[in-house]
Structure 1
Amino acid sequence: MKRRNFIKTAGAVTAGVMFKGSEISAMSSRKANIPAKEITSMVKLGKTDLNVSRIGFGGIVVMNAEPETAANAVKFAIEKGINYFDVAPSYGNAEEKLGPALAPYRKDVYLACKSHLRDAKGTKKLLDESLEKLQTDHFDVYQLHGITDVEKDVKASFAKGGAMETILEAKKNGIIRYVGFSAHTPEAALAAMDLYDFDTIMYPVNFCTHFNSRHEEAALAEAKKRGMGIIALKTMAWQKWQNDEDKKKYPKCWYMPLDDPEKARLALSWTLEQGANIAIPPGEEALFRLCVSNLPRAGKLSAQETKILSDLAAESEPIFTA
């Protein structure tokens, strides 16, 4: 479906897909209100009105955590000035864990969620369940999750009865403020941007995939042209797991992460240099804390530091290829 035709018809929701609750008033004027002295670094998220922390909190950090552990992880993030929290129904029980832990701070932070389903009815159900589990009446950003295949993910979501019908109706009703997507292939990302004027993109912005295949270049170039907020994934990813034994150290990571503080700092610096507004660390709490501690040290890389990353990538097996 061409973008101009989709926008004309997308307001009509599939039969039976209706929303509960009233419109959120004055939502566009709401700002996150973290005390200034705690803010490590803030930046405008693309063309949105969200002023966000350079590091975001990925919900997988609290997946399977005890309530007190989840509460402490969120409290740590808040104290470090983090005001962007991201989660998804497909992250195990992360929504159930994050909701109560984030509740005391909800009015002062931005909360993003996603749908991995491609149909309107299924996405409506996920959206309602996510709102309930996360103890909120709206999402600041809501995304098509994990689009990879143009036909199965992108076109299916934009077809009649597709997920975008639900998402745009929720936006119209004030339940969603901004609309984005997460993608792992440039083909899917570019196809999605051609069909709708998205506010944000989540995409792997990783030194290893860059030096091996320039994996992020086309998607990021188009997103920047459109003024989209860029949320970087896999900033501390190194390469594919080399053996099963190594996986036991970081069971929440499907890839081998960088856990050396200096290499992690270089990787984070590189990601932010590419124009990412937000970097989402790996789902392991120890790696999340490492990323947060490295933010004040992150900065423009020297030629020598860039070469360190390039050499590291040359001897690694990247998690994504062109």
Structure 2
Amino acid sequence: MKYRTLGKTGLKVSVIGFGGIPVQRVTAGEAEAIINRALDLGINFFDTARGYTDSEEKLGAVLRKRRKEAVIATKSMARTGEGMTADIQKSLKTLGVDYIDLYQLHNVKDKDALEQALSSGGALAVLKEAQKDGVVRHIGITGHVREILLEALKEEDLETVQFPFNAVEADGAQELLDLCEKRAAGIIVMKPLAGGALRKASLALRFILDYPVSTIIPGMDSIEQVEENALVGKNMQPLNADERKLLDEEAGLLGAAFCRRCEYCRPCLQGIDIPMIFLLEGYYTRYDLKDWAVERYRGLQAKADACIECGECEDRCPYNLPIRRMLADAAKRLGQ
């Protein structure tokens, strides 16, 4: 496994890290095997969050036993000092550790949220105190809106930035990459496979490693995925012309208005698994697996037409997708 420096934190992190969202879908025993295999293959950067249900718990159960091998990153949606204080303590307890290597302001997506977090009594002030106390070693920010992250980087105390970057969303990222380099901010890439929409995982990861990023955090919920992704970080082979063409063709099929499976839309009060429905629709429309997608759609407990159009999912979507309309379209295609 190859390693890079996480910006001005000075931490040496594996170029392939571990995204902690998918471990919510596996049992504790399965998660233990997956995480241990990642560590065995040299993956040392693990990203989770307070909002990822039992992800902190599952990662902590393994990582606290192999603490010296792991760089643990978590994050909180809290913007107030009071909220952040509570979340730091919850993270320490749930992970079962004495300190957290990187604590991040999670999914800051508008100016009001950024200003609140950076205010004198806000979340950042509490993180800086926790840093002085040694329970938080480094501080970062995550988000999906580049303009907000560019503004946030004016704050010197933010040492890392985590944002989506992949073969589909490469346009416009250079300004943020350049500013990160200027500010010596560590770059953590989320959604490297565009939320699973890019099926050629190896090519998608190798594409990103050509850029000066610190680590890439694909979500993994199987040992096979861990082994495949770790191999990319070990070999570090740049794409050749034919491979780049294949990836460009796949990215071109996706366009811009598609679900990245970030799962911020969940839970749906009607029980609709929104990311799963859009994943199945992708198989139906992009990969010509119509019968397969329809069959699995029929097995879902709540179908797309159960949507009552409350709009809560759209309020939470960081990509501002018209989810209600997209669900209606999916119902027409898949509900045959």
- The TM tier, using the shorter chain, reads 0.7 to 0.9
Separation of aligned partners in 2, 1:258 and 1:289: 18
Separation of aligned partners in 1, 2:196 and 2:35: 24
The residue that corresponds to 1:248 in the other structure is none
- CA shift, 1:288, in A, is 4.3
The residue that corresponds to 1:315 in the other structure is 253
2:51 corresponds to 1:94: no
Separation of aligned partners in 1, 2:209 and 2:149: 20
Over 3 Å counting, the alpha-carbon distance change for 1:66 and 1:276 in structure 2 is same
Identity level (%): 33
Deviations 1:150-182 (A, max 9, x none): 22x211101232111111111111111111111
DSSP 3-state at the match of 1:209: coil
**CA contact under 8 A between 2:104 and 2:139: conserved in structure 1?**
yes
The residue that corresponds to 2:10 in the other structure is 49
DSSP 3-state at the match of 1:306: helix
The residue that corresponds to 1:17 in the other structure is none
2:99 corresponds to 1:138: yes
Separation of aligned partners in 1, 2:17 and 2:34: 13
Separation of aligned partners in 2, 1:148 and 1:72: 35
For residue 178 of structure 2, the aligned residue among 211, 221, 228 is 221
2:46 corresponds to 1:85: yes
The residue that corresponds to 2:229 in the other structure is 291
- After the TM superposition, which residues 150-299 of structure 1 pair with which residues of structure 2 at under 5 Å, given as runs? 150-151=111-112, 153-210=113-170, 214-237=171-194, 255-259=195-199, 263-285=200-222, 287-299=225-237
For residue 304 of structure 1, the aligned residue among 233, 242, 246 is 242
**CA contact under 8 A between 1:265 and 1:295: conserved in structure 2?**
no
Over 3 Å counting, the alpha-carbon distance change for 1:146 and 1:288 in structure 2 is farther
Separation of aligned partners in 2, 1:315 and 1:67: 36
- CA shift, 1:196, in A, is 3.0
Deviations 1:30-65 (A, max 9, x none): xxxxxxxxxx11122122221111111222242253
- CA shift, 1:217, in A, is 2.0
**CA contact under 8 A between 1:64 and 1:97: conserved in structure 2?**
no
The residue that corresponds to 2:312 in the other structure is none
The residue that corresponds to 2:281 in the other structure is none
Separation of aligned partners in 2, 1:294 and 1:225: 27
Which residue identity does 2:173 align to in structure 1? E
**CA contact under 8 A between 1:236 and 1:282: conserved in structure 2?**
no
**CA contact under 8 A between 2:104 and 2:142: conserved in structure 1?**
yes
Any gaps of 5 or more consecutive residues in structure 1? 1-39, 238-254
Separation of aligned partners in 1, 2:242 and 2:35: 36
TM-score between both structures, scaled by the size of structure 1: 0.75
Over 3 Å counting, the alpha-carbon distance change for 1:104 and 1:222 in structure 2 is same
Over 3 Å counting, the alpha-carbon distance change for 1:140 and 1:96 in structure 2 is same
- CA shift, 1:227, in A, is 1.2
Deviations 1:3-45 (A, max 9, x none): xxxxxxxxxxxxxxxxxxxxxxxxxxxxxxxxxxxxx111221
> RMSD between aligned alpha carbons?
1.9
- CA shift, 1:104, in A, is 1.3
DSSP 3-state at the match of 1:194: coil
Over 3 Å counting, the alpha-carbon distance change for 1:236 and 1:287 in structure 2 is farther
Separation of aligned partners in 2, 1:221 and 1:73: 34
Separation of aligned partners in 2, 1:302 and 1:227: 30
- CA shift, 1:303, in A, is 3.3
| Higher RCO structure (Cα 8 Å, ≥6 apart) | 1
Over 3 Å counting, the alpha-carbon distance change for 1:118 and 1:283 in structure 2 is farther
Which residue identity does 1:220 align to in structure 2? L
Deviations 1:262-304 (A, max 9, x none): x222111111112111110124335444322333344222333
TM-score between both structures, scaled by the size of structure 2: 0.72
